[in-house]
Structure 1
Amino acid sequence: MSRVCQITGKRPQVGNNVSHANNKTKRKFYPNLQKKRFYIPEEDAWVTLKVSTSAIRTINKNGITAVLKKARANGNTLV
């Protein structure tokens, strides 16, 4: 599975390593992804999602049902 958050859609960004001599080489910045299980009481089911830590904070704040509803409305097919 690719390194993409299933809620926010965050994916790796590309940048440069810059040395002391100002040499630049390509590198990637990976999102902080965690595999996490969430309980959805309306469906009486557990769902395992690969989410970024910022998405976990959003889920804690707004609730898993509201976040999943918004992600599906935005056309996120991973959820």
Structure 2
Amino acid sequence: MARHCCILGQRPTRGHAIRRKGKPKKQGGIGTHVTAQTPRTFFPNLRRKRLFVPELGRWVSLRLSARGLKTLSKKGVYATLREAGALD
């Protein structure tokens, strides 16, 4: 199963972790310098949730990000799922 939120569509993104070396000027050094940029992947904060949809009268299993879960509680389960196209 792909690592994406079914509500917001968040997916893993690529970025860099910056490596620094040296002693800071405040501590008596000549300053820190960037020595490398290591590629890395940022993953969305996914949760597997089983929600009851009263309009349909059944349970739905979803893989949501934490932000998507907040969206569900704000807008309502059925309206959000219909808007996202996550209903069968």
Does the pair score TM above 0.5? yes
Report the AA paired with residue 3 of structure 1: R
Task: Supply the distance in 2 between the matched residues of 1:30 and 1:63 (Cα, whole angstroms).
Answer: 25
Report the AA paired with residue 13 of structure 1: T
Partner of 1:12: 12
Spell out structure 1 runs of 4+ moving beyond 6 A.
none
Aligned positions, number: 75
| CA RMSD in angstroms, aligned pairs only | 1.6
1:30 CA displacement: 0.5
Q: Secondary structure at the match of 2:20?
A: coil
Task: Supply the distance in 2 between the matched residues of 1:2 and 1:68 (Cα, whole angstroms).
Answer: 18
1:25 CA displacement: 1.2
Point out where structure 2 has 5 or more consecutive residues left out of the alignment. Answer: 22-33
- State the TM-score, normalized to the length of structure 2: 0.79
Partner of 1:61: 74
Q: What is the percentage of aligned positions where both structures have the same residue? A: 39
Task: Supply the distance in 1 between the matched residues of 2:17 and 2:55 (Cα, whole angstroms).
Answer: 47
Q: Secondary structure at the match of 1:38?
A: strand
Task: Supply the distance in 1 between the matched residues of 2:62 and 2:4 (Cα, whole angstroms).
Answer: 11
- State the TM-score, normalized to the length of structure 1: 0.87
Larger radius of gyration, structure 1 or 2?
Answer: 2
